[in-house]
Every structure is written in structure tokens, then in C-alpha cells.
Chains A and B, each alone.
Chain A
Amino acid sequence: MTATWEAGYTVWPVVIPLVAAACTMLIRRRGARRWVMEAAVLLTVVAAVTLLVRVTAGGTMVMKFGGWGAPFGITFVADSVGALLTATAGVVALAVAVFARADIRARRRNAGFDPLFLGMLAAVNGAFLTGDIFNLYVWFELMLVTAIGLMTIDRRRDQIDGALRYAPMSMMGATFILVGIALLFGEAGTLDMAHLATVLGGRPPSMAVTASGFLLLAGFALKAGMFPLFFWLPASYHTAPIPVTAALAGLLTKVAFYAMLRVLVTVFGYGAGGALPGAQLLLAILAGATMLVAVLAAIAQVDVRRLLSFHVLGQVAYLVMALAVASFAGITAAIFYTVHTMLVQTGLFLAAGAMQRASGSHDLRAAGGLIREHPYFTGLFAVLALSMSGVPPLSGFWAKFLVFEAALDAGTVASTFLVVIALVTGVLTLYSMSLLWLRAFWNPRRVGHAGRRPIPRAMLAGVGIIVACTIGIGIAVDPILGLSRAAAAQLVGHERSATAVDGSAEVVP
């Protein structure tokens, strides 16, 4: 009984936002609804951090729903990766919720911002914590539905248009994933990821398993915004309200990358030969192409939100590059980079919202002079931009350093070539951010209103939370790096989590 109560910690980061989402749908008073939402986000952060502390201290925690063990029931498995990313998602949601106090007004609240946002948070946490591959698919679909609702919250024409680009593409991606899951289930007869790893690990790879692996890879790559199938992201993200865009940019593509990491590494034993021939090279090519296309497209943008959307793609490419290296160091770097980029992408989009408030437009041609009008905000933005470009001592520097180190250590032709592309991309990223800096902050404003427009304190606080995190991770690298190492060890050597789940299978009659 005590054991069940202990394992209950794994479900709180999902249950709290889900219950609160139901409550906010029933509450009629707008003020009360907002308070419930904010309290729920805060509680989720507390639950996620508690889970992280407990997992770090006591190892992987497993929750078996209804007491049914691995091959029969659905499990929630909180290992270091899941707990670390859940905690990061909590911080991201907190920053967005704080920022939303100034940006999400009565109409958007009445249109259902609070329940949709909480639903999305629950889906993200569910995807990070579930141990069942079909359950993972269900969380992806919940993310998609809530994202459509959030994206079209003003019911403007461009938003509906953006959602019409996003939704069909994302549904196609979900289809790939579901077909992959079906083939996998047909081959292995189980849906539990740890159990799948055990079953598939003990037999030679078959055609169905290989097909399933590449289908899952295609589905997750589409949802993460990788090279040939990325165009829906910059075509739709900029239409949503800024807090929504920030949450989508910080959470959704990263969940897709996490799923790729988890499924490829844990289930298919990717990197150690295994059932996916050529996957490493494929990922390397896709990562390199995504990087170059994204950064070159970003340089051409004048809308801040579009510019940052392309950088979202560019950063995902670094994650995939780390995954393409496939060594232990590469997977560690991928996890560390995911934590960093979840925070910084959200922060940059929130900063773009504050810039819009200060200059009256998202268009860089109409912006300018922010350094004189808002020196403190300029400082916050500079930290985020430098962190994304990978300047020490911020979290982005360590993230990039780890990726490069892993790729160079691997020493293959593909990884060395990737490092060259990544360095070029890094320089171009810095160039793109300098353009943004010059146009919005350094140069005086040429058109538009005269005089200073204030930035609401809630916006500064939202951006400030993220800035504090990126500086904090940059200075105290060791705790997060240690967690990433532990997480990578659990992902690669999945025996531990497999026994954690399988050990209970005898309970089943």
C-alpha cells in the first residue's frame, strides 16, 4: 500500500492540471478561473520538482494503473529523463502563466485559454511520464487538440488559416506514429516500452520492426519540425497569441524530440546496431539540412515571431544532431540541450511579446530604440539571445559545447561534417540575432509612435523567470549535467527500468 502511495507521485504532474482544467471549465467568474489556473500551474511545478527530487534520490518510480503489470496494464514510469523534462515543462508553464496575466485579457480568457492551457500542460507531462507507447500517442493527440484550440483563440482569419496548416500535417504525423505502433504491437505483442525493449532485444530484427521504427521516426520528426516536413511550423506558430506561441515553441516540438529519443534509444536499441540500419546517417543528414534551411530562412525574416519560429527549427536540429551521434555523450548532450532549449525558446517568444508591447508591432522594420526606452528589458533579451547563440557562461554555451564534444569524440565522417555545418549555423544564428538586436534595440525608431510605451511588470517577470533559469544552469552546470548523465544511462542501459516494470508482472493472475 505504501508502495502505491509512493508511486502516486508520478501521476500528480498530470492529474493536477487535468483536474484544474475541468474546474476552470465550470467556473464562470473570470478572476476565479485565472486564480485556479495559476494555482494549478504552481502546484504542478511543485509536484514535478518533488518527483524529480524523489527520482534522483530513490531511482525510477513506476505507477501501475489498477495494479496491472507490464504486458497487460498501462504504466507511468518516472525515470530521470521524464522527471527532469517534466520539471522543465513546469517552469516553462509557470513563466507563460505569469506572462499571460498581462497579455491574455478577458476575451481570450472567456474563449477558454485557462482550460486549454492546463490541458496542454497535462498532455505534455503525460507524454514525458508514460511508459506505454500507445498512451504516448494519446497524449500527442490531446496536445494537438488543445494546441488547435489555443492557436485559434481569437477566431481571427489568419489564426484559423494557421491552424488549418498545422492540424492536417500534425494528424498525418500522428497517423505515421499509430501505424508504427500497430506494427510494433503485432510483432512484439506488448505496448509497454520497457517490455518492448526486452522482447525486441532478444530476437533478430524483422522487416516489420524496421518499418515500424522508421514510421515512428517519420511521425516524430514531422511533429518536431525536421527538414522536409517542417514548413507547417513557421506557417502557423506566428498567428497565435504570444504566450501560446511561447508555450508551443517551448513544449510541443521538444515533446516530439523526447518521444524520438525514448522510442529510438530505449525500444529499438538505436545506436547499438539494432533494428534500424542507416537511421544514424539519416538523422545526421536531416539535422544538417534542418539547421542550414532554418537559419538561412530566419535571416530573411522581418517579423520577430517568424524569425524565432525558424530558430525553433534550428534548435531542434541541434537536438537531432546530438541524437545522430548516438554515443552515451551524445544522448547526454541531447537531454541537456532539450532542457536548455525548452526554457530559452519560450523566453525568446515571451520577450518578442514584450517587444511588441513596447514598439507596437511585430515587424522589425517598425521597431527600434528599445535600448534607450527599456534598458532593463534589453538586458533580459540580451541574455536570452546570447544564450541561444551559445555564448558562455549561459546554458546555451554548455549545451552546444556538449553536442560538439560528443560529435567530435565520435569521430565519424558524418559527425565531423555535422560539426562543420553546426559551426557555420552557429555563426549565422549569431548574425541573425545581431540583426534582430540592431533593428529592434540599437537603432532609433524610424516610423510609428513617439514616446515610451511601458512594458507590464508581469511580462518582465515572465521573461525574468526564464533568464534566471538560463543563467542559473550556466553557472551551476553540474546538477543538470549530472541529471542528464543519469538520464542517458537509464535510456541506454534500459535493464533497470525494464526490471522495475517487469518485477511486478507476477502480481497479475
Chain B
Amino acid sequence: MNVLLAFVAAGLFGCSVYMILSRHLVRVVLGLSLLTTAVNLVVFQAARSRATQPPIIPESATRLEGAADPVPQALILTAIVIGFALTVALAALVLRSWHASGTLLTTPSRPADTGDPAAPGGRT
């Protein structure tokens, strides 16, 4: 199971990096969204969540045995929310950019460069 998950995570990372490197902004957004998913899988796996028993202490017991660790679940939940918020913010930016420039491609000359086209490091 762990090996399978590791390969899935690796595949997701590869796909997302491929998409982020695209010239098309929507693909970049989708790639980043995929990247957060891949990271969540890594968090899940790194925490070695093997047990499926809920982490609730039964009555008459004082110790919890063999239960799933709730912390990685809390971490993933937080990471999902943050990833969602950032993806939405980025999508809004892309929409704005599309309204303003009429293109979704990262063309060689962009408005942020016009101040000084000869500047080194100004292009991404």
C-alpha cells in the first residue's frame, strides 16, 4: 500500500510540475492545485497512518491502543483549505489577467516588464 501511494504521489508531482511549466496560465493553476494534492498525499503517507480505528478512548480504558493518529488528518485538512484558498486567489488573478490582456499565454513581453525592457532578470 505504501509503495503504491509513493508511486501515486511521485506521479502526481511529475504531472503537476509538467503542467506548471506550461505557457498556459490555466494549466499552471491546475498544476498548482494538483501539486497541493500530491503534498497532501505525502503528509498522509509520511505520518504512517496504518490503523483505521478512530482515535477515541473507550470507556474504562486510560490508554489509546492501535488507533489512527489524528494529527496528520488535521494537517491535511488545514493544507486542503489553504491550498483551496490559494488556488481560488490565483484563479481570480488569471481571470483578471485574461480580462485585461485578452490572452492566457505567458507571452515573452509582459506588462510588468515595460518599465525597462532591457532589465536583466525582469523576465520569467
Q: Report A's interface with B, CB cutoff 8 A.
A: 134, 138, 141, 144-145, 148-149, 152, 155-165, 167-169, 171-172, 175, 178-179, 181-183, 185-186, 191, 208, 230-232, 234-236, 238-239, 293, 297, 300-303, 306, 310, 362-363
Contacts and interface: CB of A to CB of B under 8 A. Distances in A.
B121 interface: yes
Interface in B31-80: 32, 35-36, 39, 42-43, 45-48, 71-72, 75, 78-79
B86 A158 contact: no
Nearest to B76: A182
Contacts of B96: 152, 155, 160
A116 to B, nearest CB: 12
Contact of A231 (B39, B48, B121): B121
Given A185-B47, A231-B121, 4 more contacts: A158-B110, A164-B93, A239-B112, A363-B116
Contacts of B71: 185, 191
B15 interface: no
B82 interface: yes
B35 A172 contact: yes
Given A134-B78, A232-B124, A158 B85 contact: no
B68 to A, nearest CB: 14
Nearest to A152: B93
A235 B122 contact: yes
Nearest to B101: A157
A306 B116 contact: yes
Interface in B78-124: 78-79, 82, 85-86, 89-90, 93-94, 96-97, 100-101, 110-116, 118-124
Contacts of A169: 124
Interface residues of B, number: 43
A178 B43 contact: yes
Closest 3 CB pairs of A and B: A186-B46, A158-B111, A182-B43
A301 B119 contact: yes
A318 to B, nearest CB: 19
B47 A168 contact: no
Contacts, number: 129
B67 to A, nearest CB: 14
Interface SS of B by simple majority: helix
Contacts of B28: 168
Contacts of B120: 297, 300
Given A175-B36, A183-B46, A157 B124 contact: no
B111 A186 contact: no
A162 B93 CA distance: 10
Contacts of A186: 45-48
A138 B79 CA distance: 8
Contacts of B43: 178, 181-182, 185
A145 B86 contact: yes
A169 to B, nearest CB: 8
A134 B119 CA distance: 38
A302 B116 contact: yes
Given A148-B89, A168-B32, A175-B39, A160 B100 contact: yes
A162 B39 contact: no
Contacts of A145: 85-86, 89
A303 B119 CA distance: 9
A171 B48 contact: no
A450 B118 CA distance: 28
Nearest to A313: B121
Contacts of B116: 301-303, 306, 363
A162 to B, nearest CB: 5
Contacts of B121: 230-231, 234-235, 293, 297, 310
Contacts of A165: 112, 124
A293 to B, nearest CB: 8
Nearest to A151: B93
A138 B72 CA distance: 15
Nearest to B122: A235
Given A138-B82, A172-B35, A306-B119, A167 B112 contact: no
B97 A160 contact: yes
A75 to B, nearest CB: 15
A167 B90 CA distance: 7
A168 B115 contact: no
A164 B86 contact: no
B90 A235 contact: no
A179 B43 CA distance: 7
Nearest to B20: A168
Nearest to A149: B89
A310 B93 CA distance: 25
Contacts of A141: 82, 85-86
A231 B47 CA distance: 34
Given A179-B39, A179-B42, A362 B115 contact: yes
